[in-house]
Structure formats: C-alpha cells, structure tokens
Chain A
Amino acid sequence: MHVLRVIFLCLGMLLFLLVGCTNQESIQNWELESLSLSYAEGFSVAKGDDFWVLTVSQAFPEAKESFRYLILEEGSKTSYAAKSFDAVIQLPVSEVLLTSTTHVPHLDYLQETDLLVGFPNLDLISSVPTRARIAKGLVKDLGNAPSANIELILEIAPDWMMVSTLGEDLSYLEILKKGGVPAVINGEYVEQHPLGRAEWIKFTGVLLGKWDDAVRVFEEIEQNYQETLALLTTQELAKPTVISGVMYKDIWYMPGADSWGARLLAEAGGAYLFKDQKGSGSSQLSYEVVLDRGQEAAYWIGAADFPNLQAMGEAEPRYRSFDAWKKGNIYTYTQKKGETGGLEYFELGYLRPDLIVKDLMMIFHPELFPGDTMYFYQKLDE
C-alpha cells in the first residue's frame, strides 16, 4: 500500500514537471519586450513580434493568482499554447461587452465607442456617445442582475468581454471559456493611486490594438494632473481640514487613509482628519468619534446624494452639529448626471483623476482658479 502511494506520488510529480516545462518552453521561446507602466501595479504588458501578453496580477484585492491573456495582432503567425492563457484574443475586434461603467470612457477616449454591443443595466451609462448608440438600439441590455446574463453573452459571442470581479460571478468564467468568449478581468478598482486607475486605459488599449493611442490619452491625463497639482507649490497655502463620508443608522462610513478617495483629498492639499484610519476600503466609525474630531472641520466632501443642506439636516439632525454643515461647506460629486440618472463621477472619475483633483483644489483654494467652474463636484445649496 505504502509503496503504491509513493509510486503514484512520483508519477504525479513527473507529470506536473512535464506540464510545467512544456508551458515554460513555449513562452521562453518568445521574445518579449516588457513595457513599463508608471503607476498601475495590478497589470503588466509585454509585447512580442506580432502579439501582446497582458498579465493581471491584482484582479481583486489580495489576489494570489494571476490571469494571463494573449492578444494576437491581425495576421499574427505566432503559434502558441492557448492552454497556458486564460483567454486568447484575435485583433481586430468588432464587438465587445463591458460590465462596469468605469470601462465605458475607455472606449470613448480611444474612439471605439461603436464596438460596444452589450452592457448590464444600460440606464447606468452616462457617456453621451454611448447613450446615442443605446438610443439607436445598438447596445443590448444584459439584465440588471448582480451578474450579466450568461445566455445573452454566449448568444452575442463578442470578440472579448471585460469583467470586474466586483459583483461578477467568477464561476461563470469557465462557461464563457467553453463557449469561446474571451473574458478579461479588469482590476482597476484595486489600484489606490488615482493615476494608477487611469492607467488601466492602456490595458484596454492593448485589447483594442490601440496601445499608442492609449499611451497618448494617459499621458495627457497625467500631465493635466501633475500641472494642476503643481499650482499648490506656487504659493504658501494652508491645508484646510476635511471630513468625508456619510452616516447610516449609527455608523459613519469614512474612507480609509489608503483609499483612492482619501488619497485624492490629500493630493489636492486637504488635511484629512481621519488619516489614521488605515485601510483601502471604508472605515466604520461611531458618530461620537467623528463629531469629536471632525466638528470643526472646514470642509465635508462627498456626502450622500442630498439635494440641499436643509434636506440633509432633516434626514439626520445630528449632521447639523458640524461646522461644515452650519457654514454650508458641504460638497457632493453629483453635479453631472447622465440622461438616465447615472452619476458621471462614478463612470468617468477613474479615468479622469485630473478633473477630480482640480475640483477638490478649487474647493480648498478657490483663489487658484479664478472664474473656473467645477466638473464633478458642487456645493450643497441652503
């Protein structure tokens, strides 16, 4: 019995090594040029002769496994081991599916809006060119369930589909693979550097065969971002105190210090009062703690979708105790709403941190932007 077990174990290891070596070999034979990224940490791009390899190492928080995608250029002669990739995509592509509104601007900015043929819950989309396509009935609704409708996806059989693990049922990936639908995971929301999220446009760029365009778009955004931030160094400026978030029942949900939102507040020159709250998600704090520390905060950024200060005070009388409420220094990101009610901040915000940072600086230091108006944010009226 014991001997048998040892034999099986050896055979198993041999098989494992053989499989491992075959895969290694097929990849090592390729000459790959690794293209460097400036801020994004969740994916990497490598270019071969007539193909690209995308590796997503942070598909979701604390991901241990990587996903690898092979993108073949038109007329590619590369022979490859398709099995060693999670999806193989052949360029050019003519139909794609998206599942997160944050990916919609990628198509717009790369001038490929017309490739979108399906999306779950169309009403969430605000992009004007995409809405025009929706109005013409060119984009199929994949349902507004937590996951997109698997049957419709298989029926559409797009050239690729971009998923985000946020709310996506990953068990469907296997069925999609069987059905020949390459599904690629976009993990942009794991990035905590504002420009890191924006840099994921390069990921989409590879999938569309538009790397150079994507690099150009990103560099413009990055330049805008840095130029806006540079204004902070032109003169001696005070850092106004800031709180953020909202309260549900007794709990105040405040962005963690390492979160994307908190970083933007800090970058824009705000003194975030809860920067000791470690974590990249939101922290749950009691009302007492927030009041104790934040009562005299100069600004309150990103309160819920209240129409005005009065409504906010009526909804939760305890909000009235804050100086920011008394002085009317509360700002929400609700200025731009799509035709069907989607908030543009949630759609475009990931790609355009330069706009967000400028808005925030305009709130903290209006003197830096005389006559300018905010893009996403607005001050709550009386």
Chain B
Amino acid sequence: MSSHSRHSLLMLGMSIACMILFVLNISFGSVAIPVGEIFGRLLGGSFSKSSWETIVMDYRIPKAITALLAGTALSIAGLQMQTFFRNPLAGPYVLGISSGAGLGVALLVLAGSIIGFSGYAVGVWATIIAASAGAVLVLLLMSLTAWKVRDSMTLLIVGLMFGSAVSALIAVLAFFADAEQLKMFTIWSMGSLGSTQSNQLAGFSIAIVLGLLPVLGMLKSYNAMLLGENYARSMGVNVNKLRWAMIMSTGVLAGSATAFCGPIAFIGIAVPHMARLLFRTSDHRILLPASALIGMGVLLICDTIAQLPGSAQTLPINAVTSLIGAPMVIWLIMRRNFSKEF
C-alpha cells in the first residue's frame, strides 16, 4: 500500500473513531441514560425524562464539543512548537503561554480584592478575559524577545524562564490569598471541560479558527524547518515570518484553550508524537490534521474516564491527561532514536 493511501485510510479511521468516541462520551456519565434514548433525541425525538434533556443537551454535548475544540487547539499548538524549536519536549507550557493565562486568572481570583474587584464574583467571561489577557501578555513579551533573539533554542529557553517567573508570581499570590480564594483558583487550575456553556462555544470556535489561520498557509515552511533554520532559509523560507506566525497561532490556540478549560497538561506535548508514530511521517500537511484528530480523540477518552461513568465522583481532567500523557512522554524519551527525529 502506498503511503498516500495508508495515510488516507488512517485519517478516515481516525475520523470514524472520533465520532464513536464523541457518542461514547455523551453516553456515559454519572447518570445512566440509555444509548437508545440519546440516539432517539439526536434523531429528533425526545427523552422520556426531562432532566435527561438538560443533562445531555446542556451539559454533556457542550462538554464533548469543548473536548474537540481544546484537543485540536492544544495539539496543533504543540506540533508547531516542537517543529519550530526542533525540540521534542516543546509544548504550550514551554513558551509560558499556559502559565501566562494562569497568571491572568490568579490575578482575578486571588488578588482581585487588592484592586477592588471581588475575586469571588468572577463570572465565566471574566475568567476567560483574564486568562486570554495573561496569555497575550506573555505572548507579547515572547514576541519582543523573538524580535531580538534570532535563535530558536535561545527563544525556547527564554520561554521556559518566562514560565518559571510567572509560576513564581502565581505562587506569591496564592501564598497571600485566603482559603476560599485559594480553593477557587485550585479548582480552576485542575482544568474543566464541563463549565463551557453552549453560548460560549461559538466564541471558542472562532478563537480556534483565528488561531489556525496563520499556520495553514505555512505548512511547507514547517516541513523545511525540520532540517534547521539555515536549511529552511536556503529553501526560501522566511524564517522571521514563520516565527511570528508560530507565536501568534500558538498564543491564540493555547491561550483560548486555557481560558475556556483551565490549564490542561500533556495534550500539547504528547499528541504530536502520537501522530508522528502513527502516520510515520514528518510532513505537516499530514501531521496537522492527524494531530487535531488524535487530540480530539485523546481528550474525549480522558474526559470519559474522568467522569467515572456510573459513579457520583469525577476526576479533574488535568489529572487524567497527565496520568496518560506522562508515561507516554517517558516512553518516547526512552526510545532510542527519539531525538534524531528532530
């Protein structure tokens, strides 16, 4: 089988898998709702219990769609960063973008009272705006650095430093916060897919489309980047333009995902590797849709596990993604030719 038809088949299989996972995700939860009823409703019927209508239509479906959007955003952000920095361990956390979003929320929730705004009263949009503002702030700092620093490795290290500094600021805020504020922030930092409401999904989708625009036209340049900046330049790639595209795209994608769902770890770092392993290619025209599909699938699986179907308990989504993502990354590092792929 040619690699082209293999890729097409895999892509088709992944799409079908995503659809099945989506249905599974909305079929399982703390309350047992027969799958037949759910299908009946989706085909235009109605539920035999009115509470199921709210549970499925207003809670589970927006949650599953959030998983699709966040999975896409984080995976593609991770893929771009790994390629651009030619570092297998790059991800949205590395540029400090997730931490920046966290700082925005920490300021809102933990230090709100200092600036005369109640951290307790935070509405969903306030959190989203604060997280996006934090992400953009770090993004601007990174852009300034990118303007000065031409080497992507140095940029990566600066990103790590930004991340550490921002985390330290959050720690200081948390230390002086009172118990209730700390609890609110801790809950936010565990990540949540279920608090995105249907009316916010449009905003989230638009953010992701905007985030994807800078990268879509530059997929060939990303392929060239894999062999190094100098090689890419010799191939006629405008590395400077690519750098800006990557920073803008990653900032918007990871920033919005963090804004809507809280920080979700490991999807950004682990999923692009899964895509490379599965599709055995480094062509970004394949890797980009593949990462998006795998990202959606993985986050749907993680969320289904986090709901602990049939039980009143739920796990924080961040814990589940990390529990799956950490062994994955460790395994990748232990593989022999791991770093040669970059």
Contacts and interface: CB of A to CB of B under 8 A. Distances in A.
Interface of A: 59-65, 140-147, 149-152, 154-157, 165-167, 169-172, 174-175, 178-180, 281-282, 284
A157 B187 contact: no
A149 B314 contact: yes
Contacts of B341: none
B29 interface: yes
Contacts of A171: 123-124, 195, 197
Contact of B54 (A142, A152, A154): A154
Contacts of A150: 59, 194
Contact of B197 (A64, A145, A174, A179): A174
Contacts, number: 101
Contact of B113 (A61, A143, A174): A61
Interface stretch (B133-141, B173-181, B249-257): B173-181
Interface string B60-89: 100000000000000000000000000000
B55 A142 contact: no
Interface in B5-52: 29-31, 50-52
A178 B58 contact: yes
18 contacts: A60-B118, A63-B118, A64-B118, A65-B121, A143-B312, A145-B313, A146-B187, A146-B190, A151-B59, A154-B54, A155-B31, A167-B187, A171-B123, A171-B197, A172-B195, A179-B54, A179-B58, A282-B179
A67 to B, nearest CB: 11
Given A141-B312, A282-B179, 4 more contacts: A145-B313, A146-B183, A157-B50, A179-B54
Contacts of A142: 312
A62 B312 contact: no
Given A157-B51, A166-B183, A179-B58, A151 B118 contact: no
A129 B34 CA distance: 36
Given A150-B194, A155-B31, A64 B313 contact: no
Closest 5 CB pairs of A and B: A60-B120, A179-B54, A62-B118, A281-B178, A143-B312
B184 interface: yes
B183 A284 contact: no
B195 A140 contact: no
Given A171-B195, A172-B195, A179-B54, A151 B31 contact: yes
Contacts of B31: 151-152, 154-155
A170 B314 CA distance: 17
Contacts of B179: 281-282
Nearest to A120: B312
Contacts of B316: 145
A175 B59 contact: yes
B170 to A, nearest CB: 17
Contacts of A144: 313
B30 A151 contact: yes
Given A149-B30, A150-B194, A154-B59, A178 B184 contact: no
B312 A140 contact: yes
Nearest to A122: B312
A64 B54 contact: no
A155 B312 CA distance: 12
Contacts of B313: 143-145, 149
Nearest to A62: B118
Contacts of B184: 167
Give the one of A64, A155, A167 with max B CB within 10 A. Answer: A155
Nearest to B124: A171
A64 B58 CA distance: 28
Contacts of A154: 31, 51, 54-55, 59
Contact of B195 (A64, A65, A155, A169): A169
Interface string B303-339: 0000000011110100000000000000000000000
Contacts of B51: 154-157, 179
Give the one of B54, B118, B186, B195 with max A CB within 10 A. Answer: B54
B54 A61 contact: no
A62 B54 contact: no
Nearest to A256: B178
A63 B58 CA distance: 27
A60 B195 contact: no
Given A61-B118, A63-B121, A151-B55, A145 B183 contact: no
